[in-house]
A and B are shown apart, each in its own frame.
Chain A
């Protein structure tokens, strides 16, 4: 029997497979497709302080091997998420919940993370630093090591639960960002968020997305994500949740060999509602074929 359990900052996951924030809602929708208790954990929809409608439509565009989204963090706000969405998920699901938090100011991150930390339903906090900072001319928090350090410090000061920073790949040097998180006291790192891209409608001669640009995800980004996980693993001694285009059990193994302790599955959930379950079902067989007895031996195994 192959061992598939992994541990993230003391939290045990039956297997390393986690649906990624923004592709799985608050989980309960997927309970109509399969028993979601098979998942290692769930990273729920990115939550902000206030309710957000998000961006105007169209929010989705297809690409070769992937898709662009500009949903714009649509969510009902932290108070409703804690009062209604997570309890609704908890009725169906007993495994770890990762609460993904977004903010447009330092205050917002601190307030939301403190509330998430106090929730009985949340096991781990994942801080999305890809949002623009409204107090710094809209510059993304996640592109500046100093701002990332400040967010990490501020959030860690109000949280008892493990805090993972979810990194943007839209930077020159992801290692410097990862190091800033480590210095700020982060318990772990999630990477990568989507890569910024765009498509143009030939007939209208205008961007397809109403927001002009959007985040690229899907198999097309997998090699980029893998490379960044590899680089960060070499440079920083923190557990990594690897993600970006993961679509199969083999992709999970590859991401772990690059240095990930757990792996998130994003866009694949949207094209195949059974994607995570299929990956989890396939994983033991793939490990057996590779002669792996305990999945933990894969972590960073290619270095």
Chain B
């Protein structure tokens, strides 16, 4: 965990409510795909926790959906402006359990962390597939970026305007996988949990106070005891989840 100032180098709209922000700064505290950063915004008391889409030494990429005043404020920021970030928060995904053919499932704003995860799995010689679920064709983002990594990408849309009509779970039976990695809205996580035929890791979202384990604001119950989504999570193992 680290606190640092980052400079915005890009802030581009990808879809009607979804933006990509690229930031320059010290990324050394980020150790695993699936971790998040917590962003201080002028005039807002609490920081905004946003998952890491990708990072390299000195560069951080986040994709965020405008859902309220804080993220709307972020969408209006421009290159050269600075942000105060806490980085390296949360446990992130454990790549050792992937098997040879892990399936990555990202729903809407849950898709971004799948990107760095796919890159890291590919670097380990794994053969990941990805399912990206959206409501409509217009809401899609990063389909081309995932495809450019050289892995099979299946898109589902609820209204059928692109890819497979339906939910991410409708695309799961056609894929032969050894493990599941997923992030998305609660109902989607539950549906993936019920449909999956292997073990897996599920990334959860909760309203947070601090994002680094101090306030107990985001605690959930698991089969192995209480866990803070911000600290022992956001990624939980399939076997420990209590719905």
A-side residues, CB < 8 A to B, are 22-25, 29-30, 32-33, 45, 53-54, 57-67, 69, 71, 74, 208, 218-219, 267, 269-274
Please indicate the chain B residues that have their CB under 8 angstroms from the CB of A61 in the complex: 207
CA distance A273 to B208 in the complex (A): 14
* B223 on interface, CB distance cutoff 8 Å: no
Complex: A64 Cα to B44 Cα, angstroms: 7
Q: Is the CB of A69 within 8 A of B226?
A: no
At the interface, yes or no: B122 with Cβ under 8 Å from chain A? no
* Docked complex Cα distance between A32 and B231 (Å): 13
Residue B40 lies at the interface, judged by CB distance under 8 Å to chain A = yes
Q: Are B226 and A62 in contact (CB under 8 A)?
A: no
Interface residues on B, range: 20 to 34
Listed A/B pairs (9) with beta-carbon separation below 8 Å: A33-B3, A57-B218, A57-B219, A62-B45, A67-B45, A71-B216, A74-B216, A267-B45, A273-B210
Partner of A269, one of B47, B210, B216: B210
Complex-state Cα separation, A172 to B6, whole angstroms? 47
CA distance A288 to B110 in the complex (A): 51
A12: min CB distance to chain B, Å: 26
Indicate if the CB atoms of A67 and B209 lie closer than 8 Å. Answer: yes
- How far does the Cβ of B190 sit from chain A's closest Cβ, in whole Å? 15
* Chain A residues closer than 8 Å to B210, beta-carbon distance: 269-271, 273
By beta carbon, the residue of chain B nearest A218 is B45
CA distance A269 to B212 in the complex (A): 11
The reply to whether the CB of B241 lies closer than 8 angstroms to some CB of chain A is: no
CA distance A61 to B46 in the complex (A): 9
Evaluate whether A270 and B214 lie within 8 angstroms (CB atoms) in the complex, with A32-B1, A57-B206, A74-B219 already known.
yes
- Please indicate the chain B residues that have their CB under 8 angstroms from the CB of A273 in the complex: 1, 3, 86, 210, 212, 214
Instruction: Assess the B86–A59 pair: CB atoms within 8 A.
Output: no
Taking a contact as CB atoms under 8 Å apart, the answer to whether B45 and A54 are in contact is no
Q: Which residues on A sit within 8 Å (CB–CB) of B221? A: 53
A59 engages B217 (CB within 8 Å): yes
Does any Cβ of A come within 8 Å of B213's Cβ? Answer: yes
Residue numbers in A under 8 Å from B86 (CB-CB): 273
Point out the residues of chain B lying under 8 angstroms from A62, CB to CB.
Answer: 44-46
Contact residues of B between 197 and 243, Cβ < 8 Å to A: 206-210, 212-221, 226
Residue pair A24, B219 in contact (C-beta under 8 Å)? no
Whether A24 contacts B214 by the Cβ 8 Å rule is yes
A29 touches B45 (CB 8 A): no
Question: Are A23 and B215 in contact (CB-based, < 8 A)?
Answer: yes
Query: Please, which residues of chain B bring their CB within 8 A of the CB of A269?
Result: 210, 214
**Which one of A24, A32, A71, A219 lies within 8 Å of B217 (CB-CB)?**
A71
| CB-based contact A59/B207 at 8 Å | yes
With the chains together, A33 CA to B210 CA distance in Å? Answer: 13
Chain A residues within an 8 Å CB radius of B40: 271-272
* Contact among B1, B214, B219 with A23 in the assembled complex (CB-CB below 8 Å): B214
A271, B46: Cβ atoms under 8 Å? yes
Bound-state CA distance A219–B208 (Å) is 18
Given A69-B217, A271-B40, A272-B40: 4 more A-B contacts, CB < 8 Å: A25-B213, A33-B3, A62-B46, A69-B215
Bound Cα distance A219, B43 (Å): 12
Given known A-B contacts A57-B206, A67-B45, A67-B46, A33 and B1 have beta carbons under 8 A apart? yes
User: Bound state CA distance, A6 and B215, in angstroms?
Assistant: 27
When distances are taken between beta carbons in the complex, the residues of chain B under 8 Å from A272 are 3, 40
Bound Cα distance from A65 to B45, whole angstroms: 6
Q: Which of chain B's residues have a CB closer than 8 A to the CB of A60?
A: 46, 207-209, 215, 217-218
B1's nearest neighbour on chain A, judged by CB, is A32
Q: Which of B47, B208, B217 has most A Cβ within 10 Å?
A: B217
Smallest Cβ distance from B222 to chain A, in angstroms? Answer: 11
Residues from chain B with a CB closer than 8 A to the CB of A45 are: 216
Query: Considering the chains assembled together, what is the distance between the CA atoms of A271 and B206 in angstroms?
Result: 16
A271 vs B39: C-alpha distance in the bound complex, in angstroms?
10
Q: Which residue of B lies closest to A24 (CB)?
A: B214
Docked pose: A66 CA to B45 CA in angstroms: 6
Q: Nearest residue in B to A273 (C-beta to C-beta)?
A: B212
Q: Are A63 and B45 in contact (CB-based, < 8 A)? A: yes
In the complex, which residues 29-57 of chain B have their Cβ closer than 8 Å to any Cβ of chain A?
40, 44-47
Cα–Cα distance between A130 and B215 once the two chains are bound (Å)? 18
Do residues B213 and A29 form an inter-chain contact, with CB atoms below 8 A? yes
- B207 proximity list for chain A (CB < 8 A): 57-61, 208
Q: When the two chains form their complex, are residues B215 and A270 in contact, meaning their CB atoms are under 8 A apart? A: yes
Complex Cα–Cα for A59 and B3 (A): 25
Q: Which residues of B contact A29 (CB under 8 A)?
A: 212-214
**What 9 pairs between A and B have smallest CB-CB spacing?**
A270-B210, A60-B217, A58-B207, A74-B216, A60-B209, A60-B207, A270-B209, A62-B46, A59-B217
Across the interface, name the chain B residue whose C-beta is closest to A219: B45
Instruction: List the B side residues contacting A63 at CB < 8 Å.
Output: 45
Complex CA gap A24/B212 in Å reads: 11
Smallest Cβ-Cβ distance to B46: which chain A residue: A62
Q: For residue A63, which residue of chain B has the nearest CB?
A: B45
